Amino acid sequence: MNLTIFRSSHYLLQRLIHQNHGSTIKILGFNRYFTTLSSNNRSMIFRIKFNSNHSSKTILWLSTEKSGQTKRAYFTWKSFIISGVLVSVFAGFMIQMKNEKLKQMERQRKKALGEVAVGGQFDLIDQDGKPYSSSNLEGRWAMIYFGFTHCPDVCPDELEKIVKAVELIEQDKRSDPIQPVFITVDPERDSVQAVREYIREFSPKFIGLTGNKEQINKATRAYRVYYSAGPRDHENDYIVDHTIITYLINPDGELVDYYGQTKTAEEVAKGVLKAMKTYRDLNRKLGFL
């Protein structure tokens, strides 16, 4: 099937009839006038079908007129389809390359975090005395810090840094919701009430978690958190030595990054926003967003 598109003209129509003498001619109709890149160029699309004893063909003629001169462009469905296929293949190749690049970046990130898996499930009690597990955090970002309410200086400094980082993150319109979480490593003294009163000193956005020793051990093992109670004084008071790290968890419950004591709130916020963007880009390319 050959296709040609042409402008309305008695002369052109007569020429077509003359060239196809002895054929049955059927005008299938036209689409519309349209303006090309130049406002002076106007064309009309016609479809004309010629039926003869030996063959049947449909012709589309494209004729553009400018300054009294007529120009014709000849197209075929075959060339159109081939061009479309080539464009589709190229576009698919580029998309695949971008996806592979994002996957490679994700593999490099995980390798940088270490071969040992960090993070996992836990089942604890929140500041309201209700069960709270790692599944409660699914679908949103979280910053998790392990500490204890009797900590004299390090824990308060780190929690204040988290609060400031969250504020900076929320100021960015491109950010996603993020939940700050405090998990005690001192279940002996940190009751539900003690945790509730403690986190209120920093921000109402905090979720405070406690539990029995077995529950706390399960959570600390999952996150590779070291903690050890020191010697007790005459008032039975003691200090707990523990890992000082804030863990960044993505909506899939996976560890994305971690921030040590030397990181500032600004650096933490910048790292979190970067992780959020990478996560969105990766999931968008994979069709999950």
Residue-wise pLDDT for 90-146, tens only, equals 776 666 666 666 666 555 555 545 555 788 899 999 999 999 999 999 999 999 999
pLDDT at residue 120, as a whole number:
87
Judge whether residue 222 has pLDDT over 80.
yes
Structure tokens at 264: 């500032």
pLDDT at residue 119, as a whole number:
82
Tell me the H-state helices in 114-172: 154-171
Judge whether residue 152 has pLDDT over 90.
yes
Rg of the chain over all Cα atoms, to the nearest angstrom: 35
Positive or negative, the CA dihedral 198, 201, 203, 205 is positive
- CA distance linking residue 42 with residue 35, whole number of Å: 5
Confidence of residue 63 (pLDDT cuts 50, 70, 90): very low
Q: Tell whether 21 is in a known binding site.
A: no
Domains and CATH numbers, the chain: 3-79 (no CATH), 123-285 (3.40.30.10)
Structure tokens at 120: 């996992």
Strands 178-184 and 207-210: parallel
Structure tokens at 89: 């293949």
- CA distance linking residue 140 with residue 278, whole number of Å: 15
Judge whether residue 54 has pLDDT over 50.
no
Burial of 256 (0-12, 13-18, 19+ CB in 10 A): buried
Helix, strand or coil, per DSSP, at residue 182:
strand
Confidence of residue 83 (pLDDT cuts 50, 70, 90): confident
Packing angle between helix 265-285 and helix 77-113, nearest 10 degrees?
A: 140
- CA distance linking residue 187 with residue 152, whole number of Å: 17
**Vertex 268 angle, CA 266 and 274, to 5°:** 105
Q: Tell whether 151 is in a known binding site.
A: yes
Q: Tell whether 234 is in a known binding site.
A: no
Judge whether residue 73 has pLDDT over 60.
no
Cβ atoms of residues 60 and 4 within 8 Å: yes
Of the candidates 65, 62, 58, the one whose C-alpha atom is nearest the C-alpha of residue 73 is 62
Judge whether residue 2 has pLDDT over 50.
no
Q: What's the number of CA atoms in the CB half-sphere (13 Å) around residue 267?
A: 9
Confidence of residue 253 (pLDDT cuts 50, 70, 90): very high
Helix, strand or coil, per DSSP, at residue 9:
coil
Confidence of residue 147 (pLDDT cuts 50, 70, 90): very high
Mean pLDDT of the chain: 77
Helix, strand or coil, per DSSP, at residue 151:
coil
pLDDT at residue 212, as a whole number:
97
229 against 3, higher pLDDT = 229
pLDDT in tens, 20-48: 554 444 444 444 433 333 334 444 444 44
Roughly how many angstroms between the first and final C-alpha of the chain, as a whole number? Answer: 43
Cβ atoms of residues 145 and 158 within 8 Å: yes
pLDDT at residue 106, as a whole number:
59
